[in-house]
Amino acid sequence: MTASTIACCAPIAREPLGETEAAELAVLLKAVADPVRLRLLSMIGSHAGGEACVCDLTDAFDLTAPTISHHLKVLRTAGLIDSERRGTWVYYWIVPETVNRLGALFAPLAEPAAI
């Protein structure tokens, strides 16, 4: 009873998702379902000041600049990050509203009571 009461608060376990919402969320999840994009997202989000220059991101990967740019574009198109050019460099930051939508979908779920 306690477990199901708490579990009720996680949208994924509260009621069946509609087709439209499921389709939108799947697009968002596909954007993050990649190791490089997850790492880029965490590097951007954890960077001092909450934003990172593309010049801060490339060194951690054994990938070409166009490949990194492609992954950043996927994250940006999904609305997970936004960017702005300032002089030579493009700066990226996380869009919390979009990331929060994923967090709200999956949490919190209680541990189940003994079954």
- Give yes or no for a contact between 98 and 27, defined as CB atoms under 8 angstroms apart: no
Q: Does 78 bind a second copy (CB under 8 A)?
A: no
Find, among 75, 73, 21, 14, the residue nearest to 45 by Cα.
75
Cβ-count burial 42-54 (b if 16+ within 10 Å, e if not): eebbebeeebbeb
**Shortest Å, Cβ 13 to a second copy:** 3
53 forms beta bridges with: 91
The dihedral sign for the CA sequence 100, 102, 103, 108: positive
The single residue among 2, 5, 19, 88 that binds a second copy, judged by CB under 8 A, is 19
Q: Does 9 bind a second copy (CB under 8 A)?
A: no
Q: Does 76 bind a second copy (CB under 8 A)?
A: no
Q: Which of residues 25-54 bind a second copy (CB under 8 A)?
A: 25-26, 29-30, 32-36, 38-39, 41-43, 45-46, 50
The contact set with a second copy (CB under 8 A) reads 3-4, 7, 10-17, 19, 22-23, 25-26, 29-30, 32-36, 38-39, 41-43, 45-46, 50, 60, 93-94, 96-97, 99-100, 102-112, 115
